[in-house]
Amino acid sequence: MEQLAHQQAETLAAIAAAASADALETIRIAALGKQGWISALLKTLGAMTPDQRSVEGPRIHAARESVTAALAARKADLENAELEQRLARETIDLTLPAPERPRGSIHPVSQVMDELAEIFADMGFAVASGPEIEDDWHNFTALNMPETHPARAMHDTFYFPDQDAAGRSMLLRTHTSPVQIRTMLAVVEKNPGGAPLRIIAPGRVYRSDSDATHTPMFHQVEGLVIDKGIHLGHLKWTLETFLKAYFERDDIVLRLRPSYFPFTEPSVEVDVGYTLVSGKRVLGGSEGWMELLGSGMVNRKVIEMGGLDPDVWQGFAFGVGVDRLAMLKYGMDDLRAFFDGDGRWLAHYGFGAGDVPTLSAGVGTQAGARA
C-alpha cells in the first residue's frame, strides 16, 4: 500500500504542475481512464477477502476522490489564469470614435408594397393577406380550377407530399388570388348579406421556375372589388389611376386585350405603353406595349365560392407582379438579384428608413433610389 500512497502523491504533483488542459487530460487518463492505475486498483477489490476489502476499499476510493478533485481544481485555475491573461491583453480605448455602423436599407419590394398600400388606401382599399402554405381548394378549386382543369398545369406548383390533419392537399400558393376567396368568405361570415369590399393583397407566391425573369419565390399583389353594379369601366379607371400614381406620370396609356383566366369572365390582359428614348423603353405614351397584368370581372362561379350571390354582387379583380413593378420603376434588370441578399445591391437599390411613400410627397422617384 506504500505503492498507492506513492502513486497518489506523484499524480497530485503532476496535476499541480500541469500547464494546460491537454496535460491534465493525459494525467486523468493515466489515473482514472480505463487502463488507469486507480481503475486497475478498483478491479482488485473483487478478489479480496471482506476484511482486506474493508481496509483497502476506502483507501482506493479516497485516492480516486482526491485525484478527481485536484483535476477539477487545477482545471478551474488554468481557465481563470487564461481569462486573466486575456483581460489584461484586450484593452478598449473608450475615447476612440464609435465605428461607423453599416446602415440598413428598405428592400425595393417592401418599398413598392408600401407604395401600393398608400395608393390604394387613397381609393378606399384595405390590405388583406392569406397564408403562403395554402390548400388546394383555395388556390385552385374555389377559383374555378377544378382538379382536371388544364390551367393548373401552368402553375408549376410546389405540392406538399402529405395531406394536412383535415385531409386537405397542401401546397405553396402559386398566386395571391386565393386571398380573394378568403376575403369574401370572411366578410360573409361576419355579415351574411356579404360585401361590398375593396382589398389589395400583396405577398409572396411560389412556382417551380428559375431564370433571369423567374424565381421560385416572387411577389404579387392581388386586387379585388365586390359591390353592386361593378363593370369593366371601374376596372379600367382603377388600374389607370393606380398606374399613373405609381409611375408618377400622367401620360400612362393602357391597352386592354381579351384574355382568359378561369377566375374572371371576361378576362383582360393589360398592356402599358412605352416610348423609346435613345433606345431605352420609358413608360408613357404608346410607341410600344408591354404586358403588365392580368385582370377581369370576377367569374360568377368564384363569387358563389366566396359565399355571395352573383345576381346581387359583381366585382373585378387583378393580379400583378410586385417585383416586375419594382423593376420597371427603379430600373433593375435581373430578378434573381432581388433575393441574393447582396449588401452592395441593397445599398444601391434600397431605400432609407425615412423614404416613406406618401401621396402628397410622392410615392416614388424623388423619395426613392439613393443610387
Q: Which residue has cell 390582359?
A: 269
Does 183 engage in binding with ligand DAH (CB under 6 A)? Answer: no
Distance between CA atoms of residues 291 and 325, nearest Å = 11
Which stretch, 131-139, 144-152, 247-255, 311-319, contacts ligand DAH (CB under 6 A)?
311-319
* Cβ distance to ligand DAH smaller for residue 8 or 176: 176
Residue from 108, 203, 319, 368 in contact with ligand DAH (CB under 6 A): 319
Containing 250, the helix (H) or strand (E) segment is none
Distance between CA atoms of residues 194 and 185, nearest Å = 8
* Three-state SS at 28: helix
* Cβ distance to ligand DAH smaller for residue 8 or 177: 177
What is the number of other CB atoms lying within 10 angstroms of the CB of residue 312? 11
Provide the minimum distance between the beta carbon of 145 and ligand DAH in the complex, in angstroms, as a whole number. Answer: 10
Does 296 engage in binding with ligand DAH (CB under 6 A)? Answer: yes
Residues 140-179 vs ligand DAH: string with x where CB under 6 A? -----------------------------------x-x--
* Three-state SS at 259: strand
- The shares of helix, strand and coil residues in the chain, as percent rounded to the nearest 5, are 45, 25, 35
Q: Which three cell numbers stand for residue 130?
A: 392569406
Do residues 319 and 175 lie in contact, with contact meaning Cβ atoms separated by under 8 Å? yes
Nearest position to ligand DAH, beta carbon: 319
* Three-state SS at 237: helix
* Cβ distance to ligand DAH smaller for residue 284 or 321: 321
Residues 243-282 vs ligand DAH: string with x where CB under 6 A? ------------------x--x------------------
Provide the minimum distance between the beta carbon of 95 and ligand DAH in the complex, in angstroms, as a whole number. Answer: 59
- Contact set with ligand DAH (CB under 6 A): 175, 177, 222, 261, 264, 294-296, 317-319
